[in-house]
Amino acid sequence: MFAGETEFVKGVVAMDGLPDPDRPEVCFAGRSNVGKSSLINALTGRKGLARASNTPGRTQEINYFTVGESHYLVDLPGYGYANAPLAVVEKWQRLLKNYLRGRVTLRRAFVLVDARHGIKPVDEEIMSLLASAAVTFQCVMTKTDKLKKGELDKVLEQVRGKLQQFPSAYPELVLTSSEKGDGIETLRAIIAGID
């Protein structure tokens, strides 16, 4: 499926702007700056497709991408970022939560976790929301290129421990580096298998 055309469809700022729910979709959630947009670019092999940047809070809309005709990939605004006007942050967060709770065609949420930081309380909040909305989720570790193996193992232990409170989470962690390309093919195969 990733061999097909990848295109930007639209940026959505309110629930009534979502595209017709006519195909399965997966979304990328995670703290601001964790690497959601970079991961979409790595998956699609198109560097500038999703806007990535070092400025936390870069993605401020729900951005829809198609891969072939079969799926939508959905880039979400980050959470846990406090350095923008409160009213703005609250608006994104409300949209994000309504989307995660209410999107009928959402088949899986990938919750991205920075390999250096592990699962933070805000991540647990989002995971609880997903669990209570019966949305299947799976953790994807990002930026693994920034750690040595021993350091990574320690963080993975923390992540596995935290995930035990969520029996509905996929136990398999996907280890990725958008920078080096590690884990990208694995994640493509996982997404291609979702329908």
Interface residues with ligand GTP (CB under 6 A) are: 30, 32-38, 52-54, 56-59, 77-78, 142-143, 145-146, 177-179
Q: Shortest gap between Cβ of 164 and ligand GTP (angstroms)?
A: 25
Q: Shortest gap between Cβ of 41 and ligand GTP (angstroms)?
A: 8
Residues 63, 64, 70: CA angle, nearest 5 degrees? 160
Q: Record the tokens describing residue 41, joined without a space.
A: 């670019």
Q: Contacting Mg ion (CB under 5 A), which of 6, 33, 37, 142?
A: 37
What is the distance between the alpha carbons of residues 98 and 160, in angstroms, rounded to a whole number?
Answer: 27
What is the distance between the alpha carbons of residues 168 and 189, in angstroms, rounded to a whole number?
Answer: 21
Q: Report the DSSP beta bridge partners of residue 7.
A: 66
By CB under 5 A, is residue 144 in contact with Mg ion?
A: no
Name, in order, each residue with C-beta under 8 angstroms of 94's C-beta and a sequence gap of 6 or more. Answer: none
Which residue in the shown chain puts its C-beta closest to ligand GTP? Answer: 78
63 binds, options ligand GTP, Mg ion, none, Cβ within 5 to 8 A by partner type: none
Which of 70, 93 has the CB closer to Mg ion? Answer: 93
By CB under 5 A, is residue 59 in contact with Mg ion?
A: yes
Which of 70, 98 has the CB closer to ligand GTP? Answer: 98
Query: What single letter denotes the amino acid at residue 167?
Result: P
Candidate segments 13-21, 29-37, 114-122, 137-145, binder of Mg ion by CB under 5 A: 29-37
Nearest in space to 2 (alpha carbons), one of 67, 85, 72: 67
Q: Shortest gap between Cβ of 168 and Mg ion (angstroms)?
A: 26
End-to-end CA distance of the chain: 12
Residues 59, 64, 68: CA angle, nearest 5 degrees? 140
Q: Shortest gap between Cβ of 50 and ligand GTP (angstroms)?
A: 7
Task: Tell me the H-state helices in 56-120.
Answer: 86-102
By CB under 5 A, is residue 178 in contact with Mg ion?
A: no
Which of 83, 164 has the CB closer to ligand GTP? Answer: 83
